[in-house]
Amino acid sequence: MRFLIENFGCQMNDHDMEKMGSVLIDHGHSFAAGIDDADIVIVNTCCIREKAEQKFYSLMGRLQHVRRKTGLILGVTGCIAEQEKENIFERLPFIDFSLGPSNIHKVAEAVDNAKGNLRTGGFGDNACSPSLFIRPHNTRQGVKGFVTIMKGCNNFCSYCVVPYVRGREESRPGADVLAEVREMAGRGIVEVTLLGQNVNSYNNGGGDLSFPELLKEIDAIPGIERVRFVTSHPKDISRELIQCFGTLGTLCESIHLPFQSGSDRILKRMNRGYTAAGYLEKVDALKEQCPGISLTADCIVGFPGETDEDFEQTMLLMERVQFDGIFSFIYSARKFTAAAKLTGPVPPPVAHERLARFQGRQREITLGSNKNMEGKKVEVLVEGPSKNSPDELSGRTRAGKIVNFKGDPDMVYKLVEVDIIKGYANSLRGRCESAPGGKQCSRR
């Protein structure tokens, strides 16, 4: 049968989608070209913020009609499945299965059950769940690969639903991760992103390798040129990890380090476990170890009790760090979380005004940082034709910035040296002197 997976949410979800795709392919199914062609539709969900949840329910409304017409098999997976558990079958009585993130390995079985008109529910945070260990085929084309190194989160930030829907932290043994990365390198993958809700606490409860040791081992794997990781918690960034940025050639000069707020009072209410000064200390240490490191972050505005003064502290922190980009959100109350019971809601117009001011200033900072790149030479991993002008190529720098330039199609999937001639709001324009073929770079 042909399947389609609609995906919402983070890179972990993108990767879970790849894992489910691989399980289904191993059971004889194949990708559908589109919804008209699909026998199975799976919606992989996110409930981190209210908006993601609303989008999911409106999509399900549309899919209900398609199902009625075509009789396709319809399944829900991911965080909303786990959040709702069996209740989802009351809310969406027309679905055939629902599997939480620790149960996605059962996707082929759920499809088989649905063929026999049997409904499947798979919920609960299973330690050693096979879901954590699935090694997907390279279903995305190209030379970039993703590896789950840990799952879950023990931090319980007061606004966050993740510990409730993705369960407690569990790390994959280092030997298993390394075997997967070696296998990927053997398939021609040159850039690997290590995934987990809180990768800095990888193997914190004990295990064969610490996170910095894992990075060192991956650095030594022939063929791997670039390593990234998401997501990091500021309180868990160790000195050893910061040193890795100065010593490991494969570790890209960029880090996503959510700060959430610049006000100590709000950080405390968020249960983040650090102060603004503590965050800035880590940032300074990273900048010292790796001059020019690109910093990105997440931030929440309008958290319950946030005053104008608290918000000004957030603006100050943003100004002080000069991030390359920030994902910023208005707080929304989430099921199960401690913050949902906090008093002092920020009126929506105030929260929107704060977000607009915050984003406006960050846009200026991002543009400034991109303009600063003009005249510099960078290494670009070419990913394919540019989205907006297909006769051009597009790729990313080690800092993760998008570069568009004219080049030879032979350069696709290669590392090439590009001169930056213009910085825009969301991308850079480059020139590749040594076309065709490009000057290939290798750090080895």
Considering the rule CB under 6 A, would residue 32 count as an interface residue with ligand SF4? no
Residue 197 interacts, among ligand SF4, ligand 5AD, none and using kind-specific CB cut-offs from 5 to 8 Å, with ligand SF4
Point out which residues bind ligand 5AD (CB under 6 A): 48-49, 159-160, 258, 260, 298, 300, 329, 331-332, 334
Q: Which helix (H) or strand (E) holds 147?
A: strand 144-148
Smallest gap, in angstroms, from Cβ of residue 330 to ligand 5AD? 7
Cβ proximity of 398 and 225 under 8 Å:
no
Judged by beta carbon, residue 48 or residue 346, the one nearer ligand SF4 is 48
| Given 57, 94, 156, 327, the residue binding ligand SF4 (CB under 6 A) | 156
Distance CA 118, CA 305 (A): 48
Interacting residues of 100 by C-beta distance below 8 A, sequence separation 6+: 77, 78, 79, 81, 82, 85, 122, 123, 124, 125, 165
Alpha helix ranges (H) inside 233-272: 239-247, 264-269
Helices 174-186 & 211-219, crossing angle to 10 degrees?
20
For residue 334, the partner it binds in ligand SF4, ligand 5AD, none, with Cβ less than 5 to 8 A by kind, is: ligand 5AD
Q: Which residue is nearest to ligand 5AD (CB)?
A: 298
438 scored as a contact of ligand SF4 (CB under 6 A): no
Among 160, 215, 218, 428, binds ligand SF4 (CB under 6 A): 160
- Distance in angstroms (rounded) separating the CA atoms of residues 295 and 85: 37
User: Hey, is 307 helix, strand or coil?
Assistant: coil
The residue whose two tokens read 């994959």 is 172
Q: Which of 7, 83, 98, 155 binds ligand SF4 (CB under 6 A)?
A: 155
163/212 with CB nearer ligand SF4: 163
Q: What are phi and psi of 205, to 5 degrees?
A: -80, 15
Which residues touch 376 (CB under 8 Å, ≥6 apart)?
419, 420
Give the one entry of ligand 5AD, ligand SF4, none that residue 189 binds, where binding means its C-beta sits below a cut-off of 5 to 8 angstroms depending on kind: none
Strand partners, 40: 3, 73
Choose the binding region for ligand SF4 from 122-130, 154-162, 186-194, 326-334 (rule: CB under 6 A): 154-162
DSSP states of 378-423: EEEEEEEE-SS-TTSEEEE-TT--EEEEE--GGGTTSEEEEEEEEE
CB nearer to ligand SF4: give 88 or 157.
157
Which of 160-168, 283-291, 398-406, 434-442 is the region at the interface with ligand SF4 (rule: CB under 6 A)? 160-168
Q: Contact between 153 and ligand SF4 (CB under 6 A)?
A: yes
Site for ligand SF4 (CB under 6 A): which residue of 106, 228, 233, 354? Answer: 233
Q: Name the DSSP class of 373.
A: T
226 binds ligand SF4 (CB under 6 A): no
155 binds, among ligand 5AD, ligand SF4, none (CB under 5 to 8 A by kind): ligand SF4
Does position 157 bind ligand SF4 by CB under 6 A? yes
For residue 332, state whether it binds ligand SF4 (rule: CB under 6 A). Answer: no
